[in-house]
């Protein structure tokens, strides 16, 4: 690094050696902690694999292709659960990314100063609400709203899409997606807002000087600068959506079936673990539930990899390694 060579020339030999030692020690310290993270995830993975061994042997690949979930007969297939998890997370991100970014841009670029603090504060409040409260609010307030207003409206205007066919009983994929949207919003908004705040003023002024409109400044000068960080925020949000348990299980309807309509009840992987783990009686049953956790690990891997690929495709260019 260029700066290092300057340091080299400036420093006396003895001090330099000491400084280097300290730098080395610092590097090793951070390395150890990064390694600890790796170790923890590896340990969780191994534990899941060991605990789910009976089910892994018994069902093999059928576990993820079958849609039978019958604890009494000892048949376990996770396909509908995978579907429910992915579908509800996709709904959440489709809504939360534009909304969250919109709020972040508004707060950092448009908003009058007096509005920034209260709105930012409110959004951060969202993160502090325990998920069981989201769940209860979901059953008592959101689900009836969806059943009586949102679903009939969607059905009336967009009923030609298979997504909005049928009647809603309140709980279902759509409601789960909406709850998740609210839950992941603070990740996107708060983090993006911090990132936009770090964009240097020169960047904006240069763009303005070129005669750009305010939106063009944001679009071409501000957002690209914070791109990596914003993607990081979205990935955090995705992670939360995939793994969220308590709130989803209260509003998703908990029915392991795959259907095209968002009004229908579904089931998610995290929800089935939370629902059945504490009461599971037989060994095979417990290990099948743990295997669901293992599958969720795999799905997260794939979804994150897919997200990266997508970003590479869309972004196309350098600085990709660390997205």
Partner 1 sequence: MRRFFASSIVKAVLAASLIVAIAAGVSGCGPGKPVTPETGGGAGNKVKLNGAGSTFVFPMMSKWSALYDSVKPGAQVNYQSIGSGGGIRQVIAKTVDFGATDGPMTDEQLQEAKKPVLHIPVVMGAVVPAYYLPGNPAIRFSGPMLADIFLGKITKWNDPALAALNPGVKLPDRQIVVVHRADGSGTTYIWVDYLAKVSAEWKAKVGVATSVNWPVGLGGKGNEGVAGQIKRTPGSLGYVELVYALQNKITFGAVKNPAGQYIKGSAASVSAAGAGAANTIPADLRVSITNAPGKGAYPVSGFAWLLVYAGQENQKRGQALTDFLWWVIHDGQKAVKPLDYARLPEQVVKLAEGKIKEIRVSKANGR
Partner 2 sequence: MNPYNRRRLVSRIMLGLCAASVVVVVVPLLLIIGYLIYQGISSVNLALFTQMPKPVGESGGGMANAIAGSLLLLGLASGFGMVVGVMTGIYLAEFGDNKFGFIVRFLSETLNSTPSIIIGIFAYTIIVAPMRHFSALAGGFALGVIMVPIIARTTEDMIRLVPTSLREASLALGVNKWRTIFRVVLRTASPGILTGIMLALARAAGETAPLLFTALGSRFWSLSVSEPISSLPVQIYTYAISPYEDWHRQAWAGALILIGIVVLIGLAARFLAARSSLVRGARRR
Residues 57-116 that bind partner 2 (CB under 8 A): 98-100, 102-103, 105-107, 109-111
Tokens (6 digits) for 34 = 């990064």
Please select the residue that binds partner 1; options are 169, 227, 258, 308, rule is CB under 8 A.
Answer: 169
CA dist., res. 238 & res. 236, Å (int): 5
Please select the residue that binds partner 2; options are 269, 285, 291, 295, rule is CB under 8 A.
Answer: 269
First to last CA, the chain: 22
**Judged by CB under 8 A, how many residues of this single chain contact partner 2?**
112
Measuring CA to CA, how many Å separate 253 from each of 26, 85, 266?
Answer: 50, 13, 6
**Judged by CB under 8 A, how many residues of this single chain contact partner 1?**
34
Categorise residue 269: left if φ over 0, alpha if ψ from -120 to 50, beta otherwise. alpha
- Choose among partner 1, partner 2, none what residue 73 binds, the Cβ cut-off being 5 to 8 Å by kind: partner 1
What is the contact mask toward partner 1 in residues 117 to 136, using x (rule: CB under 8 A)?
------------------xx
User: Which of residues 13 and 128 has its CB atom nearest to partner 1 in the complex?
Assistant: 128
User: Which of residues 245 and 261 has its CB atom nearest to partner 2 in the complex?
Assistant: 245
- Choose among partner 2, partner 1, none what residue 123 binds, the Cβ cut-off being 5 to 8 Å by kind: partner 2
DSSP 147: I
Could you list the beta-strand ranges (E) of the chain.
69-70, 75-76
Measuring CA to CA, how many Å separate 63 from each of 55, 74, 291, 293?
Answer: 8, 12, 9, 12
Residue list 53-112, contact with partner 1 (CB under 8 A): 68-73
Three-state secondary structure of 191-227: HHHHHHHHCCHHHHHHHHHCCCCHHHHHHHHHHHHCH
Cβ 230 to partner 1 shortest distance, Å: 21
Q: Which residues bind partner 1 (CB under 8 A)?
A: 68-73, 135-136, 139-140, 143-144, 147, 169-171, 249-250, 253-255, 265, 267, 271, 274-283
């Amino acid at each position: 690094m260029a700066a290092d060579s300057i340091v080299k020339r400036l420093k006396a030999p003895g001090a330099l050696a000491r400084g280097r030692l300290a730098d080395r020690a610092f590097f090793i310290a951070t390395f150890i902690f990064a390694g600890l993270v790796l170790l923890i995830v590896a340990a969780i993975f191994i534990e899941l694999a060991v605990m789910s061994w009976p089910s892994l042997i018994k069902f093999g690949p059928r576990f993820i292709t079958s849609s039978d979930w019958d604890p009494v007969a000892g048949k376990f297939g996770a396909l509908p659960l995978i579907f429910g998890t992915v579908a509800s997370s996709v709904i959440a991100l489709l809504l939360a990314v534009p909304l969250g970014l919109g709020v972040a841009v508004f707060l950092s670029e448009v908003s009058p100063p007096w509005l920034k603090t209260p709105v930012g504060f409110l959004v951060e409040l969202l993160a502090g609400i325990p998920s069981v409260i989201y769940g209860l609010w979901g059953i008592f307030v959101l689900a009836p709203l969806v059943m009586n207003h949102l679903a009939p409206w969607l059905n009336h205007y967009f009923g030609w899409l298979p997504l909005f066919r049928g009647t809603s009983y309140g709980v279902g994929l759509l409601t789960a997606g909406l709850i998740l949207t609210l839950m992941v919003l603070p990740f996107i908004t708060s983090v993006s807002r911090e990132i936009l705040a770090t964009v240097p003023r020169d960047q904006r002024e240069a763009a303005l000087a070129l005669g750009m409109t305010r939106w063009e400044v944001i679009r071409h000068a501000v957002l690209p600068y914070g791109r990596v960080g914003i993607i990081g925020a979205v990935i955090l949000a995705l992670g939360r959506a995939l793994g969220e348990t308590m709130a989803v299980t209260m509003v998703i309807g908990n029915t392991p079936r795959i259907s095209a309509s968002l009004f229908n009840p579904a089931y998610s992987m995290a929800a089935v673990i939370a629902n059945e783990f504490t009461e599971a009686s037989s060994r095979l049953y417990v290990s099948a539930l743990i295997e669901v956790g293992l599958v969720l690990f795999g799905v997260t891997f794939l979804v994150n990899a897919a997200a990266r690929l997508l970003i590479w495709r869309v972004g196309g260019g350098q600085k990709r390694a660390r997205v």
